[in-house]
A and B are shown apart, each in its own frame.
Chain A
Amino acid sequence: MKISDLHPQEEQLLRILHKKGEKIAPENISDMELIAVERTAYWLSEKDLATIEEQITTFIRLTSEGKTIANEGFVEEKILSVLDSKKTMSQIITEANISNKDFNIGLGWMKRRQWVTINKEEGQLALELTQKGEEAKNIELPEKRLLKKLLSQELTKKECDENIISVLRKRNLVLEEEHKSRLISISDKGKNLVESSGASIERINLLTPEIIKDGTWKNKTFRAYDVHSPVPKMLPAKGHPLRLIIDKIRHIFLEMGFSEMRGPMVEMSFWNFDALFQPQDHPAREMADTFYMEAPSMAKLPEKLVQPVKSAHENGTTGSSGWGYKWSEEVAKKLLLRTHTTAVSARMLSQIKPPAKIFSVDRAFRNEAIDYKHLMEFHQVEGIVVDPSVTFKDLLGLLKEFYYKLGFEKVRFRPAYFPYTEMSVEPEIWFEPKQSWFELGGSGMFRPEVTKPLGIECPVLAWGLGLERLAMLVLQDNDIRDLYKNNLKWIQNKGGIY
């Protein structure tokens, strides 16, 4: 360590301590402010350059009664001052202007001090001055002397006569007060540092416009900072962590040449279910799983598509048996909060011509109670690739590429089931910290019963992947509700997304 590594105040204090050579109380260092001395002494002690000792000092303080007596004198002194040879009690009380009670206290102390003898005179108490009493008239009591001294200056217990203090304490005129104080001194290491460093050089601490302008920086050195010393926490205004993940995903798809799509949140059953070949008695369509709308209440079906979708359900399209039930327009008209963004894909399919690559990252809704693992609304990463050339292999490759770009290298594909895809795949990513596979949504190739009624004659790769579970993994959070709580501390402290 060099002395130039120290903060200027550290150097200053170290040099003061070195000059002093002995223990010193911080308040006795006049060249620096007390707060600065205390703080700097702590830093020096952390670096073993100084030692801080704690010391307890007992001060003697006057009580309020003590203060009165210091000014007015003891009651026995008052009695003494009016007493010559012999006086009765009533004479004394009148002349000294004291109460009966004070007289009794005074009498006790006068006897103890052997200033008087007590006689009876005409049936009442009378005091007769002794030789000692006579002498006392001319001498100030040492107790009084101490009390007077305490009025004007602070004394420690060590500076006082112990016997006198004990008398005064008994009379409740003084009390003791303990004071903790510190003493600082330079350590051997500190001494060596100062002695090996030579004279103090003035170094620049904060660079100021004045220093830059007047050129003094040219002849001085800059104090080196400790790069490890703690700094105040800086909090940025920040994008929401979930937004950062959404944008990262959007970027990946845009990078792969996908166009972005968007559709209504309040959707008709037709696009959410029927166009996706989900039979009208499918459990996912029940109230327990889907939020239906009271207002608005009814949709206008896309007229041209009603018949093709209806017959796909009832009799199948070419080569398919269909579900074989009576399809109802009324059921298809029911409005709901879209349960998946695949509803938007279905809308797109009815509008586009291949080749097309389309995606969205958007909200979907399910009738679920909220807890640490479940939300009633969430985001889906949705996408379709529409082209005569695409195959199942392309679907797997695309999903793998997507997760790879997100930072997940190990992906596996499991057979799954969705009414609207065949093949159906659930991609899973390997999450190293938890040593397990995480299923993150569904994907597949749309069935002909989905694509043909919408006017698409070629294969369609499709996926609807969960975002929130992925976000939980990336953010290493265990309560999915945190994502929508908008706690500022949480938003500010979640990092590591990009």
Chain B
Amino acid sequence: MATISFNIQDFFSLIDKELDMEELDHKLAMLGVPIEGIVDDTIEVEVSPNRPDLLSVEGIARAFRGFIGQETGNKKYKLERSGVKINVDLSVKEIRPFIACSIVKDVAFNDEFIASIMQIQEKLHATIGRKRVKAAIGVYDYDTIEAPIFFKALEPNMIEFEPLSDGNTQYGWMSAREILLRHPKGKDYAQTLENFEKFPLLVDSKSLVLALIPIINSDDTRVEEGTKNIFIDVTGTDLKTVMQVNNILSSVFAERGAKLESVEIIYPDDVIISSPSFETRSMDLEVSYANKLLGLALDAEDCAELLKKMRFGAIVKNNSSITAQIPSYRTDIMHSIDLVEEIAIAYGYDMFDISIPRVPTTGKELDLEKNGRYLRQLLLGFGFTEVINFIISNPRKQYEKMNCEENDFPLIENPNSSDYTSVRTWLLPLIMENLFENRMDAYPQKLFEIGDISLLDESSDVGSVTIRRCGGVIADVNTHFAHIKGIILELFSNLGIPITLESFEHNSFISGRAARILVNNAPVGYFGEIHPEVIVQNELEIPITAFEFNVEEI
């Protein structure tokens, strides 16, 4: 989830209204942009991933003005044609086929505006830009560039320019390879190009390099506080995303009063796309569909008004349906149900009368849980205290410390810590660890856990089965086989399940002092005296008896 921060006063001037903090907090939450934190005049809000148009204070202000009824409907931005052409060379097709551009004139930067432009680029890259792979942005001083502009890919050794300086660090002329090795941005994003023989580049008609894409701009085209005219490019692997990002960024400039001009993108197959393009999409909505889902009784007029508050265009077709005009930046609208949600948000989640579903059903507890509940009651009666352990464990804990051979077990491909690499296949190792955690506490200690384990099983659709187990230990100077056997016999007798026992060899238990529990001749578990080797491995010094059995089969 992305967060963005902005100055409160700047926000108030953009919405042309001042609110008290409590109201602002509530309204932003109800718009779906909840406040995460406030420090002095800086406010931090959370933006959900389907709304990249809200990754700037200008975008939030645009939505907010609609939400409070200050300015509704689809915002129309004035767009003039610049006549500038962007030629896309065939060489980028396999690398980064799409580009969208805008020219922005008469930009008047101030501190908040600059901060916002920096922030939205960073956030767009991190979110829908998928770390610059799907979409990457470049912003240049338009007055340093001479159109037409070419988007092409060259072999790295053909590329040499001075990358954007970084604070006080000037880099001087560098080759593309040097940039990837030495420039901080080059190092950060080198992997986006690592599989390609040629690197994409944006150059102007005089062969001035604008940028090595998607890595770094040239220092010659750098934007400074006094820059008046701007050129924007967005390149990437997905046309829809590239155009959306360009629209979102361009509209931020327009919201600050700059003039937008479009360019023509000429693709190698001679397809020409005008960019940016704020064309809306149309989608019809049946009013009854909205009412059925929301439990409201809105008419077509209401629906249209509510959509306009969400900055959609809306036309009432007839009593029962409307046509929504979806702003170009709202690519998340896929189905009329998305329009219904917009209506619900505009209506206000806090304004709904609530009701309880009238769906008569009889509840049913899982048999497994019922058994577990009774077992828990019996074990508590025997004086056992319940523990709950992590399901993710590691082979050392699960097998080595228990004096056992490693068998096949569910193993994580990408663990983030050597302590948590596999799924537990039994409970006792973890309960032994609980004894270690409590070694300073008084004995006797009796612990049990009822929880899930997972075993590999090729016959299952997921190659494994999740099994509910019950395990327990007694750590006491006086505990021994007869002690734990007595408990097991009572547990199963109370559960009403006849069991038989047979002697059992298991490396975690003392040889000749463990038994297998059989129900209808099928093994369901075991118990016995834990082997001193295992006790020592777990850094304990007290006799331990233990049991573990399946709750599943009983």
Contact = CB atoms under 8 A, between A and B. Distances in A.
B332 to A, nearest CB: 8
A480 interface: no
B361 interface: yes
A377 B419 CA distance: 13
Contact of A393 (B353, B388, B461): B353
Interface stretch (A88-96, A160-168, A186-194, A292-300): A292-300
A473 interface: no
Interface string B326-352: 000000001111101100110001101
Contacts of B388: 240, 242-243, 483-484, 486
B417 interface: yes
A296 B364 contact: no
A238 B381 CA distance: 9
Interface string B400-418: 0000000011111111110
Interface stretch (B28-36, B141-149, B487-495): B28-36
A259 B361 contact: yes
A238 B48 CA distance: 42
Given A293-B413, A356-B361, A390-B359, A423 B340 contact: yes
Nearest to A401: B356
Contacts of B452: 265, 363
Interface string A315-328: 01001111110000
Given A486-B388, A486-B434, A389 B357 contact: yes
A266 B446 contact: no
A299 B461 CA distance: 5
Interface string B120-146: 000000010010001000000000000
Q: Which of B373, B390, B441 has the most CB of A within 10 A?
A: B390
Nearest to B452: A265
Nearest to A251: B365
Nearest to A361: B369
Interface residues of A, number: 100
A268 B441 contact: no
Interface in B230-283: 240
Contacts of B389: 484, 486
B42 interface: no
B463 interface: yes
Q: Which of B127, B130, B357 has the most CB of A within 10 A?
A: B357
Given A319-B336, A486-B434, A262 B366 contact: yes
Contacts of B240: 324
Contact of A416 (B48, B293, B363, B387): B48
A295 B335 contact: no
B380 A237 contact: yes
Nearest to A321: B334
Contact of A319 (B335, B411, B445): B335
Given A390-B359, A417-B49, A487 B294 contact: no
Shortest 9 CB-CB distances between A and B: which pairs?
Answer: A296-B463, A391-B295, A415-B32, A417-B48, A397-B354, A393-B295, A320-B335, A486-B387, A394-B357
7 contacts: A295-B411, A357-B359, A389-B357, A392-B352, A393-B355, A394-B358, A423-B294
Interface of B: 29-32, 34, 48-51, 127, 130, 134, 240, 292-296, 334-338, 340-341, 344-345, 349-350, 352-366, 368-369, 373, 376, 380, 382-392, 408-417, 420, 423, 434, 437-438, 441, 445-447, 452, 454, 456, 458, 460-466
Given A363-B391, A439-B34, 12 more contacts: A239-B376, A250-B365, A256-B363, A268-B461, A296-B456, A300-B461, A335-B463, A367-B416, A413-B349, A417-B32, A419-B50, A461-B357
